[in-house]
Structures are given as C-alpha cells and as structure tokens.
Amino acid sequence: MQIIPAIDIRDGRCVRLEQGDYGRETVFDDNPAAMARRWQKAGAKRLHVVDLDGAREGCPVNADEIHAILSAVSIPVQVGGGIRDIGVADAYLKAGADRVALGTAAVKDQTTLVNAVSLFRDRIIVGVDARDGMVAIEGWLEQSDIRALDLVRQLSEFGVARVFYTDISRDGLLAGPNFAGIHELLEHAAGLPSPMAVIASGGVSTIEHLQRLALIGVEGAIVGKALYTGALDLAEAIRAVSL
C-alpha cells in the first residue's frame, strides 16, 4: 500500500482544514514546493496536491504553486481542485502531473468525465467525497442527492479505473478512518463489471490505521494532518506498511 502525503493549498500556502470547513484552517507552511521536497526526501513515492481555492471557485487559483511543485520533485503527483474541463486537465498533465483528479465535474458534468477518461485513460482519478454516505461537491460545500456507492457504480460504467474516497466527517480530525465505509466501498467496487482501485483518505493518524487499511486492501492512503503535526512520521510509516 502506498502512503501519499497530501498538500492542500489555499492562498498560496500549505494548509489543513477540519472536516472540509474553510473556517477551520491551520497554516503549516508558506512554501508548498518546499513541503513537496520534504515529503519526497522522507520517502514518499507519490503526492496528492489540491487547490482548495480552485475547488471552491470552480477553476484553478493556485496553479503557479502547483507548477512549482511539479518542477520541484521527481515523484508522481496527482493534482485536483477546480478541474472542471478538459483544457485544465490537459494543461496540468502537460505541465508534469501524473494524474488529475475530478470531483464536482464527475457529478455535474459527466460529458466532461467521459471525454477525460477517453483522452487520458488511467491518468484520471475521481474523488468520491462523502458525508453520511452522500456525495459532497463544490469543494465539499454542497451536498448532492447521490449515494457514494451509486456514484462509484456510474464511474465504473464510464471506465474510471481509480477513485479516492474521503469520509468528510473524519477529515482533519486524526480520529481514524471510517474503516467500515471503506470496506463497504471496496467490496462494492470489486464486484462491479470493471473493478476499480480505491485510495482511502481522511482520519489517518497512526501506523495502526495504515496497517488496517493495508489489510482491507486499498491501493493507497492519503495522509495529511498527521504528517504536518508530527503525529505520524512518514519514513517510519512507510517502513511499517512495507514489512
């Protein structure tokens, strides 16, 4: 299982939110590119970078900072936040992103989703962000009437090969992932005509959490606040899940 440090960018800085609440923000660094280099040096094999302002505004806001990250590291980077059309996705991929993440567009504009999958194949990853089992969109500010499991089925039918699942209620609280929800999603995804890889996100704060996720069978775990606060040491965590 891959441990994927998260770099969330707001106003050009590395921040973490609690439960997706823009009013509950902690700033951890003014230089996202330097943070990316730090995680690469500690052993990260992939980074998860999100333009939080872009997610809320519906278009890239912190593209300069993301481009700086792409230039600063040699490991794969998946980029999300405000990617609502093919042009933005293509620009990030041409700039060096390994994958681009769609969220709101996967729910509200499925023509764009289908076109993106057709053009970019497995370089498209979709964020399934859920609150009480229902999908949230628009930077988690808007609740849809779509069940997370139903969205995953739709995504499979459209040819999406990989999703990352976030239980918003756990995100940024260090209280542990929603293991039951992740397990249910994995079983659901495995039973679809086109099985999908699942990356877990939200609530990871200990090595035990990561080991449990590895046993469940997720492809990777996105980790944010625990790394920034020092509750979890990245190098130690990577060694623990590699044993």
Q: Which residues are catalytic?
A: 8, 129
Q: Which residues contact 179 (CB under 8 A, 6 or more apart)?
A: 212, 213, 216
Structure tokens that stand for 58 in this block: 């519906």
Q: Is 140 exposed, middle or buried (0-12, 13-18, 19+ CB in 10 A)?
A: buried
Distance, CA of 204 to chain centre? 13
CB neighbours of 189 closer than 8 A, spacing ≥ 6? 152, 156, 163, 195, 196, 197, 198
- Give the type of residue at 74: S
- Residue 200 and residue 5 in contact, taking contact as beta carbons nearer than 8 Å: no
Phi, psi of 26 (to 5 degrees): -120, 130
* 202 Rama class: left (phi>0) / alpha (psi -120 to 50) / beta: left
- Tell me the backbone φ, ψ of residue 237, rounded to 5 degrees: -65, -40
Yes or no: say if 9 and 52 are a contact pair by the CB < 8 Å rule. Answer: yes
3-state SS, residue 208: helix
